[in-house]
Structure 1
Amino acid sequence: MPQTPPPILELRNVTSAYGRIKAIHEVSLKVYPGEVVSIIGANGAGKSTTLMSICGVLKPVSGEVWYDGARIDGLAADLLPAKGLCQVPEGRRIFPRLTVEENLDMGAFFRKDAEGIEHDKNRVFQMFPILLERRRQHGGTLSGGEQQMLAMGRALMGRPKLLLLDEPSLGLAPLIVHQIFRIIQEINDVDGVTVVLVEQNANLALKHSNRGYVLETGNVVMEDDAASLLANPAIRKAYLGE
């Protein structure tokens, strides 16, 4: 019987707070290599806080974050991309005064392999042809959908093992949303990148995931494979509007 590989990401009873206000409470979750795992929940449930606690933007009050066999909750956020852990934050946060190409180069700032960087940039342009057309434009002149593509492309320039995506569909037209999710599936299927996805569109997120966790008021209240969560009447009522 084949052994289950160790998780690439594990949160062990992580509590994080903003000042005295606890945003997540003893959150524990595991993500295994090659998975797409969704974290769903209502606004204010603690989804983005969980991602920020993983990537070092917010230091947990207690608990442990483990990535690729090492504890990382004490590390500075800017050290993690070089270890293969990259995030596409909510709101994209591209560099508006840099060109598209310069934004992509920033995603590879820690890399020294010039040929590999050029190869990966061309791969991003294949995934998002509109970015090739806009490569000389400043990031701030792009549409919301184009900025989301650029933010994803910038993260991919770091050759991530684990990609954290925070609300990739937020504010985008349905056609662009489906394009973004098609690329997420390709990144996972073709490149083998493990993905943790925080997404308000629970239906779409779970349809593209292996497993999911449900957060309510900072607590994990349910975890299951994605198909079971999609079929769960309580989940359908609370998050799918049925």
Structure 2
Amino acid sequence: MDDKTPILELKDVVAAYGNIEALKGISLKVMPGEIVSIIGANGAGKSTTLMTICNVVQAVSGDIFYRGERINGLNSDHMPPRGLCQVPEGRRIFPRLTVTENLEMGAFFRKDQRKIKEDMEYVYELFPKLRERRKQLGGTLSGGEQQMLAIGRALMSRPKLLLLDEPSMGLAPLIVKQIFDIVQDINKEGVTVLLVEQNANLALQASQRAYVLETGKVVMEDDAASLLDNPDIRKAYLGE
């Protein structure tokens, strides 16, 4: 796949919960190496978009392409081995497993033991707190540490595209900054990121491009710097 082909592309994707249409023809694309954000109010369809990409929520119509392959209907378990991994809203780590065991679960489909050890060392370098807590049960960690663990677990799958759903939710500002700095570091290492984030200011500062969702539709797309300067965006999403 060349750098001019989107790593991810959605074309007129419709998704529903029962009779309620949550996505009403979403189209977006993410190019290799980008950080792209999806911003919008609660209920706009941001998290549903990520879940539909992973086929946790089934698309009713439209096309989802990952690295040029149409992935509609593929079992969500088949996504990480293809290099597409989601860090879901609310972390969802394994509370009764240790930090190390949680990280090992991220590499459950891999057989390359030497590289798995190298990747675990890389995660511990990114998140020194996890190294300190490696024998602790996941459920005993703070919210920030659980978010680090959720991202670390995703990295253990060696993702080419990382879907991040509300990484700042419920975290102290200092921890949020640390998480976002690390997301940008991960991106510099070659991982493409699609970010859903309630904190629009943070998301736009971290991204190259962004899409604005309202009630299941893309109402605006632009480079992130332009959206940060847009008075309508500043009023609607940045509290100005």
Q: CA deviation at 1:56?
A: 1.3
Which letter does structure 2 place at the counterpart of 1:181?
Answer: F
Identity of aligned residues (%): 72
Q: CA deviation at 1:74?
A: 1.4
Give the unaligned 5+ runs of structure 1: none
Partner of 2:227: 229
| TM-score, length of structure 1 as denominator length | 0.98
Partner deviation per Cα, 1:114-153 (whole Å, 9 max, x = no partner): 0000000000000000100110010000000000000000
Which letter does structure 1 place at the counterpart of 2:238?
Answer: L
Partner of 2:160: 161
Q: CA deviation at 1:156?
A: 0.2
Alpha carbons 2:64, 2:70 under 8 Å: kept: yes
- Secondary structure of residue in 2 paired with 1:61: strand
- Residue of 194, 198, 201 corresponding to 2:199: 201
Q: CA deviation at 1:73?
A: 1.2
Aligned mates of 1:21, 1:223 — CA distance in 2: 25
Aligned mates of 1:137, 1:77 — CA distance in 2: 29
Aligned mates of 2:178, 2:197 — CA distance in 1: 15
Which letter does structure 2 place at the counterpart of 1:147?
Answer: Q
Partner of 2:187: 188
| TM-score, length of structure 2 as denominator length | 0.99
Q: CA deviation at 1:4?
A: 6.1
Give the unaligned 5+ runs of structure 2: none
- Secondary structure of residue in 2 paired with 1:185: helix
Give the count of matched residue pairs: 239
Partner deviation per Cα, 1:194-218 (whole Å, 9 max, x = no partner): 0000000000100010000000001
Aligned mates of 2:72, 2:133 — CA distance in 1: 37
Map 1:114-129 onto structure 2 (within 5 A).
Answer: 114-129=113-128
Partner of 1:148: 147
Partner deviation per Cα, 1:181-232 (whole Å, 9 max, x = no partner): 000000001x110000000000010001000000000100000000000000
Indicate the RMSD between aligned Cα atoms, in angstroms.
0.8
Partner of 2:19: 20
Map 1:205-216 onto structure 2 (within 5 A).
Answer: 205-216=203-214
Partner of 1:79: 78
Alpha carbons 2:3, 2:32 under 8 Å: kept: no
